A and B are shown apart, each in its own frame.
Chain A
Amino acid sequence: MNNELIVTSSPHVRSQDSVKKIMWSVVIALLPAVFAAVYFFKARALSVILAAVVGAVLIEYIFQKIRNKKNTIKDGSAVVTGLLLALTLPPSIPLWTAFFGSIVAIGLGKQVFGGIGQNPFNPALVGRAFLTASYPVLMTTWTVDGVSSATPLSQMKMEGIATDTWNLFVGQIGGSLGETSAIALLLGFSYLLYKGYVNWRIPLAMVGTVFLGTFAFGSDPIFHLFAGGLMLGALFMATDMVSSPTTKLGRWIFGLGAGLLVVIIRL
């Protein structure tokens, strides 16, 4: 025996999970959606994503430095926020806007509350809400390669045109970067589910509510499942650990409430 014996309180073994592992797994889980975005929107998507991620990481670094706290870049949570925000943005958004959105997301959405774990809302959503309020036009221009295309949801709402469900599921539709391919999102989500890093109750309750709700009001429920940001919102936003409930019942209720909101907004 070389050193003094270590004395700490029980338990003396811990699971292999860490915040870092969880956050980087979320990053991995978002990669299919990122690839889908790049596939459909080409280099444009990549630049928007990079702008948002760099903004998020940079501001996280600066804030932690100012507050004299440990550098938390490596825990991956800023990357997650940057990615999530980027996936809610339209591909045509100016890069500085994406960058700025991330700064607001981390700055206002997370750091002002004291950093990781303290935020009452999902930081990415704070960023998105801010951008929508400040730059409504930029945020709702869904142009790809100069050709403006309405999103399936607005087509449905305004003109009653339903997009082919298969297209919605696989991708190739107008909308934000992350909305394009439901299958990419589901793929990433299954990875998290497999790792045990995500609650399935919230998304199930939310998606189920939207399905039943839209069906009850005579709309095509399948269409609503795969259209718009529902998948992204249900699978990756509503399940944000920090801002969602910890009890099982709480998660059902939370998912139900979120689903109802979607139904009300859409119909």
Chain B
Amino acid sequence: MKALTFKQGIHPEYNKELTKDKPLKNAKRPEEVIIPLKQHIGAPLKVLVKKGDQVDLGQKIADSDSFVCAPIHASVSGTVKEIRKVTDPGGNIVDAVVIESAEEDRLNSGLEKHDSLDKLDAAEIRNIIREAGIVGMGGAMFPTHVKVSIPDDKSVDYVILNGAECEPYLTVDYRVMVEKPKSIVFGLKALMKAAGASTGFIGIEENKPEAIESMQDAVNDEANIEVKILETKYPQGGEKMLIEAILGREVPAGGLPLDVGVVVNNTSTAAAVADAIRDGKPLYERSISITGRGINSPQNLIYRIGINIGDLVEEAGGLKDNAAKVITGGPMMGVAQKNLNIPGVKGTSGILVLVEDEVEEYEPSPCINCAKCVDACPMFLMPTQLANYAKNDMVDELEEWQVLSCVECGSCSFVCPAKIPLVHHLRLGKSQVMAKKREKN
């Protein structure tokens, strides 16, 4: 079968062999966790605990009445030491609950366990997903229950699971697909039922044959679920790219997958949904790849939310002498960190350490109009032109030329021979347009 894909995009080096065959294992249980109280896109949460409180593993510690939000749970049993400000991996300063771990964990989430989906209706499933605090684990951290809440005037035919893991280096979704395929399928069925979708697809890039085989075995008996093999190309895992590749449907500019009857979730997110429904386990831990040539012993770990990133790095053998850059996430969209003293959150899928020869400092030279960025952009934008508009504060032109459609995948910057930081300019351009829109309202 020919691998499916989208138009344009790029082929970076994937470098997955560093961690691809390292089975997931539990990281050491931290003595203290610092849990940021904003780990989702949406409304801020109210903290439900105070200094000195005893909390149990999985106990809700922050929530809100707003629809678009995801509650947060204690990731260890222990004592609330303090509530203080912390810098999260995204560089935002947010409130965080600091919990000192007790000797032992006692799961007490208040979530019931359900062996099958038969007795649950769509609303009940959505409620479990919400109560378990599940967000998109690919990095976007959009509340999952919101994604599968379909407005009355819309309907959904398909749920697509993103198993592309197109970011170089990262092998988290890969390991989950190899090790917990049944959980992913269970989670997918829950998401389909919640969204009212009849069919499910799992899209996997063809450079992950073991994951394809594992998932294909797991869906053998499922009439409505199919594994789709995708071409290995970045950013294949983007929502719009997946939909184009698998269904040939095009999401309109400024629109959502919902507009073409599709909901897209990450494979790891689906596994978390299964854990919540079957084990009553909220999202208090997740898997991560700790990788790159700057780390002594690259591996895949399962960590408690709020663990210090530095502890995870230590557990993976620590940094090498020539380590030069530490990135949370992958090399294309991840964030470079000043230090390791930050908590891991629900969307942190990787810690990538690059060494000195891998971090050339690029000095941009003038654009030679080679059009490589135009040919790479999966959203069919004109990055070179948009970057110029952004540099010159030409907000109307930015808007007219669809800067808001930019998914910040970084493909344009990647290919540019003049080493112009295009996506950086585009991000600034986007915020200019957003600022103007807010002014108008």
Contacts and interface: CB of A to CB of B under 8 A. Distances in A.
A255 B371 CA distance: 16
Interface residues of A, number: 35
Contact of B12 (A3, A8, A13, A242): A13
A10 B319 CA distance: 21
Contacts of B408: 10
B322 A2 contact: yes
B368 A19 contact: yes
Interface stretch (A31-39, A52-60, A148-156, A243-251): A243-251
A244 B323 CA distance: 42
Interface in B334-361: 334-339, 352, 354, 358-361
Interface stretch (A115-123, A168-176, A209-217, A230-238): A115-123
Contact of A9 (B324, B370, B415, B424): B424
Nearest to B371: A246
Contacts of B416: 14-15
Interface string A104-116: 0000000000111
Contact of B336 (A6, A115, A116, A242): A6
Contact of B414 (A14, A18, A21, A199): A14
Contact of B339 (A5, A115, A199, A248): A5
A241 B369 contact: yes
Contact of A11 (B324, B333, B368, B418): B333
A10 B417 contact: no
Interface in B49-92: none
Interface size classification for chain B: 35 or more
A12 B10 contact: no
B332 A13 contact: yes
Contacts, number: 126
A117 B384 CA distance: 12
Specify which of A13, A14, A22, A242 lies most central, judged by the most chain B CB atoms within 10 Å of its CB: A13
Given A8-B336, A10-B410, A11-B410, A242 B369 contact: yes
A197 B375 CA distance: 12
B382 A246 contact: yes
Contacts of A116: 365-366, 368
A12 B359 contact: yes
A264 interface: no
B325 interface: yes
B421 interface: yes
A12 B327 contact: yes
A133 interface: no
B104 to A, nearest CB: 35
B168 interface: yes
5 contacts: A9-B423, A13-B168, A14-B419, A116-B365, A241-B370
Closest 10 CB pairs of A and B: A117-B366, A11-B410, A246-B371, A17-B417, A12-B331, A241-B370, A7-B336, A13-B331, A11-B332, A6-B325
